Amino acid sequence: MGKNNIIFCQLFDRLALYFVYMKTIILLLIFLICYPPRVSAQSTPILSEFYPNPPGDDTANEWIEIENPGSTELVLDGWVIRDLIGSSTSFSLTGHTISANGFLVLYRPETNIVLNNDKEQIELVSPNGERTHSDEWTNVKEGISWSVVDNLWIETPPSPGIKNVIPSPTPSPLPSALPSPTPSPSPTPSPSPSPESTSSAIPAPLTLNEIYACGTGSEWVEIYNKTDQAVALQSYVLKDAGGTHTAFTVSEVPAHGYAVQTFSSNILNNSGDTLYLFFNSTLLDSVQYENCPNNQSYSKQKNGSWQFTQMLTKGYENVEILNKNEETITAIQKNTPSPTPRPPNINVNTDKLSNIRLPIPIVFRLNPVSVLRTKLNHLHAYILSITLHQSESLHSYLTVSRVVLVFSLYLIFMRSPP
């Protein structure tokens, strides 16, 4: 009777192992049929730069640039570009290609598209009729192109065939010390000039300093002037990621002082936004935030980083964040002495140590059928996870799947189960 039990257990183990093999093969076949290798789709071209007002002859030197942001070559058969203002002209891009992460520069003699200097807009039409267009430009300066950088259209130096970048602002020269006056026989000394606001074609190095976008009351943005002169703000504007322009209603920002622009309506997104500071079309500063907490401002720290804080310092020096749970005001006004910051608390980490994985118990080594069944079950879980998430490395997985399939067939038909 005991011998019959042993034979029965051996047959049961063999049947269980065959069942595991067959389940593995069925799962692999289902995966290979339902999820064949994907062919990467062709990326979409984007309008990236225009040069409407080159020095000299516009007829020969105007150009339009199209970018391929994808990692494969882009075929432009069926695509069309056209200008939208004035006498509209269309140009078919059939026969043109753009290499991976490359650019296509089309000059006016080829396209016959006239780029107006005073006002113009360009449109890109896909083969199925979908339309994208550039921002409209007005009165572009000579020798300056109209470019998109981080989804924002701005004036930049021309860069045909290469990636557009935000130009670094030219800092305004700080006033130098006046030379000592030459002694004059006249007893009346020359009057010294009175300080005036800086207002020139060269932007002053103003910076964004604090943003209040979430909470009660109106939204506002604070800027800082680190120069020794007051700066008039008639040529400065704020712009968010959605393209909303806001001119400053305050006339100037004092030397080493602050100016606050309060918005009449809510334009900053609570879930996240990007704010830009422009001098005419020159980008001076920008900052991006995400998911701002209620009734907290986003303030710039002395080290250049940005932090959310409950201490709103509208029009004054910002709060310095010492750690996540403590905020200390470094100064409320320039003429107010800074309080001595309290040393941060020292927290001792008392978390328990992670559990240590022990080696496989010796009992599993005595039952190779159980070990193999466990490993194949792990393989089932791995196949299902790949199936659900559709891994990007699909070709590599298919190769592994085929090896496992061949090995399973070999175990079934060429070898006897243990």
Lowest mean pLDDT among 175-189, 267-281, 395-409: 175-189
Express as a percent the part of the chain with pLDDT over 70.
64
Q: Is 217 exposed, middle or buried (0-12, 13-18, 19+ CB in 10 A)?
A: exposed
With a cut of 70, say whether residue 183 has pLDDT above it. Answer: no
Better-scored residue on pLDDT, 64 or 379 = 64
Residue 10: pLDDT band (50, 70, 90) is confident
Q: Which of 277, 261, 196, 191 is nearest to 230 (CA)?
A: 196
Residue 5: pLDDT band (50, 70, 90) is low
Same domain, 143 and 57: yes
Same domain, 294 and 216: yes
Element (H, E) at 190: none
- Can you tell me the mean pLDDT for 180-190? 49
Compute the chain's Rg from CA coordinates: 34
With a cut of 50, say whether residue 52 has pLDDT above it. Answer: yes
Better-scored residue on pLDDT, 160 or 394 = 160
Better-scored residue on pLDDT, 262 or 43 = 262
| Cα–Cα–Cα angle for 60, 134, 155, rounded to 5 degrees | 70
Residue 360: pLDDT band (50, 70, 90) is very low
Instruction: Kindly state whether residue 95 falls inside one of the protein's structural domains.
Output: yes
With a cut of 80, say whether residue 333 has pLDDT above it. Answer: no
- Can you tell me the mean pLDDT for 175-196? 48
Q: What is the pLDDT of residue 380?
A: 54
What 3-state class would DSSP assign to 285?
strand
Query: Which of the listed residues 156, 191, 216 is the one where a domain comes to its end?
Result: 156
Better-scored residue on pLDDT, 115 or 185 = 115
Express as a percent the part of the chain with pLDDT over 90.
25
- Can you tell me the mean pLDDT for 315-342? 54
Q: What is the pLDDT of residue 80?
A: 95
Residue 304: pLDDT band (50, 70, 90) is confident
Q: What is the pLDDT of residue 411?
A: 57
Instruction: Kindly state whether residue 163 falls inside one of the protein's structural domains.
Output: no
Better-scored residue on pLDDT, 73 or 175 = 73
Q: Is 370 exposed, middle or buried (0-12, 13-18, 19+ CB in 10 A)?
A: middle
Same domain, 324 and 367: no
- How far, in Å, CA of 330 to CA of 349, rounded? 29
- Can you tell me the mean pLDDT for 101-120? 92
Instruction: Kindly state whether residue 369 falls inside one of the protein's structural domains.
Output: yes
Backbone angles phi, psi at 336, to 5 degrees: -105, 125
Residue 404: pLDDT band (50, 70, 90) is low
With a cut of 50, say whether residue 282 has pLDDT above it. Answer: yes
Query: Which of the listed residues 305, 328, 351 is the one where a domain comes to its end?
Result: 328
User: Residue 357 is encoded by which pair of tokens?
Assistant: 């994985």
Residues 207 and 228 sit within 8 Å (Cβ to Cβ): no
Same domain, 52 and 144: yes
Same domain, 69 and 117: yes
Better-scored residue on pLDDT, 127 or 17 = 127
Q: What mean pLDDT is reported for the chain?
A: 74
Instruction: Kindly state whether residue 30 falls inside one of the protein's structural domains.
Output: no
Containing structural domain, residue 74: 46-156
Instruction: Kindly state whether residue 182 falls inside one of the protein's structural domains.
Output: no
Q: What is the pLDDT of residue 217?
A: 84
Q: Which of 22, 9, 77, 4 is nearest to 370 (CA)?
A: 9
With a cut of 50, say whether residue 346 has pLDDT above it. Answer: no
CATH number for the domain spanning 140: value is 2.60.40.1260
Q: What is the pLDDT of residue 81?
A: 95
CATH number for the domain spanning 226: value is 2.60.40
Instruction: Kindly state whether residue 28 falls inside one of the protein's structural domains.
Output: no
Same domain, 220 and 303: yes
- Can you tell me the mean pLDDT for 93-99? 94
With a cut of 80, say whether residue 268 has pLDDT above it. Answer: yes
Query: Which of the listed residues 114, 129, 156 is the one where a domain comes to its end?
Result: 156
With a cut of 90, say whether residue 106 has pLDDT above it. Answer: yes
- Can you tell me the mean pLDDT for 86-112? 92
Residues 276 and 248 sit within 8 Å (Cβ to Cβ): no
Instruction: Kindly state whether residue 35 falls inside one of the protein's structural domains.
Output: no
Instruction: Kindly state whether residue 183 falls inside one of the protein's structural domains.
Output: no
As for how many domains the chain has, the answer is 3
With a cut of 60, say whether residue 151 has pLDDT above it. Answer: yes
Residue 330: pLDDT band (50, 70, 90) is very low
- Can you tell me the mean pLDDT for 52-79? 91
Q: What is the pLDDT of residue 355?
A: 41
Residue 348: pLDDT band (50, 70, 90) is very low
Q: What is the pLDDT of residue 193?
A: 44
Residues 147 and 49 sit within 8 Å (Cβ to Cβ): yes
Same domain, 374 and 321: no
- Can you tell me the mean pLDDT for 93-109? 93
User: Residue 105 is encoded by which pair of tokens?
Assistant: 């520069």
- How far, in Å, CA of 221 to CA of 298, rounded? 10
